[in-house]
Amino acid sequence: MWLAILGTATNASTNANACSFKDLCPALANKTYFNYGGQGPLPTPALEAMTSSWKTIQERGPFTTAVWPFIEQETSRLRGALAALCGVAPHRIALTENVTSGCVLPLWGLPWSSSDELLISDCEHPGVVAACRELARREGLSIATLPVLELCRSTPQAQLETAVLDQLEQHLKGSTRLVVLSHLLWNTGSVMPIASVAERLQDHPRQPWLLVDAAQSMGSIPVEAAARAADIYAFTGHKWCCGPEGLGGVALSERLLEQAQPTLIGWRSLRQESAAGSCWHQDARRFEVATSCVPLMRGLLTSLELLEAEGDAASRLQSIRQRSGQLWEGLNKRGDVQTLLPEPPPAGLVSFVLTGQDSAAVVERLGKAGLWIRRLDDPDCLRACTHITTTPAEVEALLNAL
């Protein structure tokens, strides 16, 4: 699919398709890596593609009429590719720097009234929660919590959809105006039923907005149904997509595009620079701001193309789950480990507690042995992620080192 969408494979990436993705990542050559949910490794062809894009900009420009068509081409190619991944039209995609700006910029542009309530799941990332709290303080909104953490810990994934929808039912009020729920929870590793939640919200008299943090889902599980259904579906290129840091995107709903105003405003928000202040883009570009790093776009496109060459999202998820399942099973054979989930994970995040051991000390000890996992604060646990690059031997090495 990517080859068709992009039609732009660099020589480097085309030749590299013969190798496995793992062999293309210098970061994976000298360590055993399980922090894909923090940041993915950058394949060398993506780095080379960025250098080549930078060279083109310098050779043609940098600020000349000769360079603008190139910049326009790079931007619209990436927008089109991300739109295809999300299953939405390109005008619904805004390019951002990261997950957080994709969540916060449109969120702050929504029309609020002081009786509105924000319903935020108890598994959201601290940065997004902080932005909601500050929004609530400034606009006089109230905040309520949607408890999903304990549900995830006790409910098999097959029954989780019903359990989450029941919980939502109990917490929706007449004043609920926004629900914040990640697609793939960064702490437990559970998948949330985003499309069903969106459907339920449409039946609510006030049709609350649905903000979805897609930090862990984009690049690791199929996202179309959720991205199409959410009002704000914000993601980054630097985690599971293995692109460069500093480039992400957000898929926005049609109703959000009609009703939300730009927030962090700059020339890229404007349809016509000469009519400053009155002439926003009608599409998602109203949430783009100003100058950003164009070569990163070619880097992300190349990484996505290389991932696609390894299989579509559904088949990549199968490999990811084979390894996360292997890890989950291995952990559960030990008497001193409690996994957060009651069954093998639906994606690549495996969180667990090592009883009687300080998690920070475990991370440090493993790091010294060249194995990289991370600690999470809430709940206090360890998290190891598996990607398509993870091998059975690496999982065994982690289990032995633990």
Ligand X SMILES: Cc1ncc(COP(=O)(O)O)c(C=O)c1O
Say if residues 220 and 240 touch (Cβ distance below 8 Å).
yes
390, 381, 394, 401: which is closest to 341 by C-alpha? 381
Phi and psi dihedrals of 376, rounded to 5? -115, 150
Q: Which stretch, 41-49, 94-102, 108-116, 223-231, contacts ligand X (CB under 6 A)?
A: 94-102
Looking at the Cβ atoms of 182 and 326, the one nearer to ligand X is: 182
Nearest distance, CB of residue 212 and ligand X, angstroms? 10
Looking at the Cβ atoms of 246 and 325, the one nearer to ligand X is: 246
* Residue 215 interacts with ligand X (CB under 6 A): yes or no: yes
Q: Which stretch, 149-157, 163-171, 209-217, 249-257, contacts ligand X (CB under 6 A)?
A: 209-217
Residues 163-202 as x/- pattern, contact with ligand X by CB under 6 A: -------------------x---x----------------
Say if residues 298 and 53 touch (Cβ distance below 8 Å).
yes
Sign of CA dihedral 201, 138, 256, 205: positive
Residues 37-56 as x/- pattern, contact with ligand X by CB under 6 A: -x------------------
Residues 126-145 as x/- pattern, contact with ligand X by CB under 6 A: -x------------------
Nearest distance, CB of residue 213 and ligand X, angstroms? 5
Looking at the Cβ atoms of 6 and 289, the one nearer to ligand X is: 289
Nearest distance, CB of residue 285 and ligand X, angstroms? 20
Sheet of strand 381-385, all strands in order from the earlier edge strand to the far edge: 337-339, 349-354, 381-385, 374-376
Q: Which stretch, 10-18, 197-205, 211-219, 325-333, contacts ligand X (CB under 6 A)?
A: 211-219
CA distance 169 to 402: 41
Tokens matching residue 180: 């914040």
CA-to-CA separations, 259 to 181, 286, 296, 402, in angstroms, rounded = 21, 12, 30, 51
Residue with tokens 């499309």: 195
Residues counted in the chain: 402
Say if residues 191 and 184 touch (Cβ distance below 8 Å).
yes
Nearest distance, CB of residue 46 and ligand X, angstroms? 17
Total of chain residues touching ligand X, rule CB under 6 A: 13
Amino acid making up residue 371: L
304, 303, 295: which is closest to 50 by C-alpha? 295
Say if residues 45 and 24 touch (Cβ distance below 8 Å).
yes
One of 216, 269, 326, 390 touching ligand X (CB under 6 A): 216
Contacts of 157 (CB under 8 A, 6+ apart): 190, 191, 341, 343, 346
Looking at the Cβ atoms of 90 and 127, the one nearer to ligand X is: 127
One of 35, 98, 121, 339 touching ligand X (CB under 6 A): 98
* Residue 100 interacts with ligand X (CB under 6 A): yes or no: yes
- What is the radius of gyration, based on Cα positions, of the chain? 21
Q: Which stretch, 98-106, 172-180, 315-323, 350-358, contacts ligand X (CB under 6 A)?
A: 98-106
* Residue 213 interacts with ligand X (CB under 6 A): yes or no: yes
Nearest distance, CB of residue 155 and ligand X, angstroms? 20
Give the torsion through C-alpha atoms of 158, 159, 161, 164, to 10 deg: -150
* Residue 236 interacts with ligand X (CB under 6 A): yes or no: yes
CA-to-CA separations, 319 to 232, 281, 346, 379, in angstroms, rounded = 29, 41, 11, 27
One of 22, 79, 125, 268 touching ligand X (CB under 6 A): 125
Q: Which stretch, 68-76, 95-103, 155-163, 281-289, contacts ligand X (CB under 6 A)?
A: 95-103
Nearest distance, CB of residue 185 and ligand X, angstroms? 8
Looking at the Cβ atoms of 188 and 326, the one nearer to ligand X is: 188
Say if residues 144 and 173 touch (Cβ distance below 8 Å).
yes
Looking at the Cβ atoms of 88 and 99, the one nearer to ligand X is: 99
Residue with tokens 């199929």: 222
Nearest distance, CB of residue 302 and ligand X, angstroms? 19
Angle ∠(191,340,170) on CA atoms, nearest 5? 55
What does the binding site for ligand X look like in residue numbers (CB under 6 A)? 38, 98-100, 125, 127, 182, 186, 213, 215-216, 236, 248
